[in-house]
């Protein structure tokens, strides 16, 4: 088995030491405020560094995990073994006529705001989604009738061999809250969105309207991972949970939101164990009452405590 100090030594050959942290508490970096420590937490500053880390991981056979803003992610309390890559340094957003090129660590909300400033229409739906560009592609994030697949032209990724590769939107097989990014072992580095010239006031009005809907319906005052479950065919997850009288149910510091039944909030220093136990309780109760299986939208990764 490879020792941690051997990994550290080799990592510091490809990434500046100030961008490598050990035993880093992940909950401090994630929207959900859940999760244990990462053996290594690295924040590369160039695409070449990302490529080198992937090649090193292949050579030394250590696992690596991508983190965006952790707004769709529950990291278990035992944390993550191996290397966690956080692409916060890749946050540039550029405009090229009616295209926006955004790096993977940029907030998709900021990309949506840039589109407004440039009077470009198509990304209004993303104005309240608290993820990164990388996470938004991974999830094919969407809201209020729009989704990433409507506007994505292509992306640059580092593939599982450490090569920089261009993937078209079709290559990524984007579907309802799904892409093939995980299956391919890709790391998204940047995305190009094709938008349409629009009217500033109309774009702004739509964004304001969607923001109002979000703020009035979602418990944005607490950390959460958004909608925990996918929409089951023919039903709405939130309605099933509401009709199961689960709102307000809590385990430890995690609670089924009283404001939006589809959300579980981290109300009082919840552990990931609390959160996961509550998700399972909701799934079991809804199955018993309505015979519907709720499939998780949120990803659960890492080790038990």
The least CB distance from residue 6 to ligand FAD, in Å, is 25
Identity of the residue, 150 or 289, whose beta carbon is nearer to ligand FAD in the bound complex: 150
From CA 182, how far away is CA 173, in angstroms rounded?
A: 11
Identity of the residue, 139 or 286, whose beta carbon is nearer to ligand FAD in the bound complex: 139
Which SS3 state, helix, strand or coil, does residue 238 take? helix
Residue tagged active-site, from 121, 224, 227, 244: 227
From CA 294, how far away is CA 291, in angstroms rounded?
A: 10
From CA 85, how far away is CA 88, in angstroms rounded?
A: 9
Identity of the residue, 202 or 215, whose beta carbon is nearer to ligand FAD in the bound complex: 215
Which residue matches tokens 């790391």?
A: 187
The least CB distance from residue 123 to ligand FAD, in Å, is 13
Identity of the residue, 222 or 290, whose beta carbon is nearer to ligand FAD in the bound complex: 222
**112 is an active site residue:** no
The least CB distance from residue 159 to ligand FAD, in Å, is 11
The least CB distance from residue 67 to ligand FAD, in Å, is 5
Residues that bind ligand FAD (CB under 6 A): 31, 66-73, 87, 104, 129-132, 134-136, 138-139, 141-143, 181, 187-188, 218, 220, 224-226, 299
The least CB distance from residue 301 to ligand FAD, in Å, is 7
Residue tagged active-site, from 121, 177, 179, 224: 177
**227 is an active site residue:** yes
C-alpha atoms less than 13 angstroms from C-alpha of 254 in its C-beta half-sphere: 25
The least CB distance from residue 138 to ligand FAD, in Å, is 3
Identity of the residue, 56 or 263, whose beta carbon is nearer to ligand FAD in the bound complex: 263
- Token pair recorded at residue 28: 């401090």
Identity of the residue, 199 or 211, whose beta carbon is nearer to ligand FAD in the bound complex: 211
**177 is an active site residue:** yes
Phi, psi of 184, rounded to the nearest 5 degrees:
-80, -10
User: Active-site residues: which are they?
Assistant: 177, 227, 297
């Amino acid at each position: 088995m490879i020792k941690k100090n051997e990994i550290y030594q080799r990592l510091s050959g490809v990434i500046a030491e100030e961008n490598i942290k050990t035993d880093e508490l992940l909950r401090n970096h994630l929207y959900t405020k859940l999760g244990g420590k990462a053996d290594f937490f690295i924040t590369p500053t160039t695409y070449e560094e990302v490529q080198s880390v992937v090649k090193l991981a292949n050579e030394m056979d250590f696992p690596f995990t991508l983190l965006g803003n952790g707004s769709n992610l529950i990291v278990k309390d035992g944390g993550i073994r191996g290397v966690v890559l956080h692409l916060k340094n890749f946050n540039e957003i550029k405009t090229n006529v009616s295209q926006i090129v955004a790096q993977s660590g940029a907030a998709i909300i900021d990309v949506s705001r840039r589109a407004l400033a440039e009077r470009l229409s198509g990304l209004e739906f993303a104005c309240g989604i608290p993820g990164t560009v990388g996470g938004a592609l991974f999830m094919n994030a969407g809201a209020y009738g729009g989704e990433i697949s409507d506007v994505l032209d292509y992306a640059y990724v580092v593939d599982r061999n450490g090569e920089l590769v261009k993937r078209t939107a079709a290559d990524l097989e984007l579907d309802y809250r799904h892409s093939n990014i995980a299956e391919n072992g890709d790391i998204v580095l940047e995305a190009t969105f094709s938008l349409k010239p629009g009217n500033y006031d109309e774009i702004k009005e739509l964004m304001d309207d969607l923001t109002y809907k979000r703020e009035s319906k979602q418990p944005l005052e607490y950390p959460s991972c958004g909608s925990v479950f996918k929409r089951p065919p023919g039903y709405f997850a939130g309605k099933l949970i509401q009709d199961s009288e689960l709102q307000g149910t809590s385990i430890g510091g995690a609670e089924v939101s009283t404001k939006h039944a589809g959300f579980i909030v981290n109300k009082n220093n919840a552990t990931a164990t609390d959160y996961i136990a509550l998700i399972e309780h909701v799934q079991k109760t809804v199955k018993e009452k309505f015979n519907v299986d709720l499939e998780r939208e949120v990803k659960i990764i890492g080790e038990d405590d």
